[in-house]
Amino acid sequence: KVKPQLEEKEGKTFDVFTAVEFKTQVVAGTNYFIKVHVGNDEFMHLRVFRSLPHENKPLSLHGYQSSKTKHDELAFF
């Protein structure tokens, strides 16, 4: 659901977009930190926010880090 948001921010499309690892952080909702394989040896780390159920808001991309590798540690940012 956040792939189009990332593609818009990056100004390109991703043929490969596969989550390979994730962590969560509970706030007033949930932050998901997701390592995504975007093709070749390229990875990106995404921070996706899911609001509380009663707010009825869609998932939103709150931040990302590009130029990551498969072995870069997925950390909160």
Q: Are 66 and 6 in contact (CB under 8 A)?
A: no
pLDDT tens for the chain, residues 1 to 77: 899 999 999 999 999 999 999 999 998 999 999 999 999 999 999 999 999 989 989 899 999 999 999 999 998 88
65 and 45 in contact (C-beta within 8 Å)? yes
pTM > 0.75: yes or no = yes
**Residue pointed to by tokens 């932050």:** 31
CATH hierarchy code of domain 1-69: 3.10.450.10
The residues, any chain, with a CB within 8 Å of residue 50's CB and separated by 6 or more, are 29, 30, 32, 59
**Any idea where the domains of the chain sit in the sequence?**
1-69
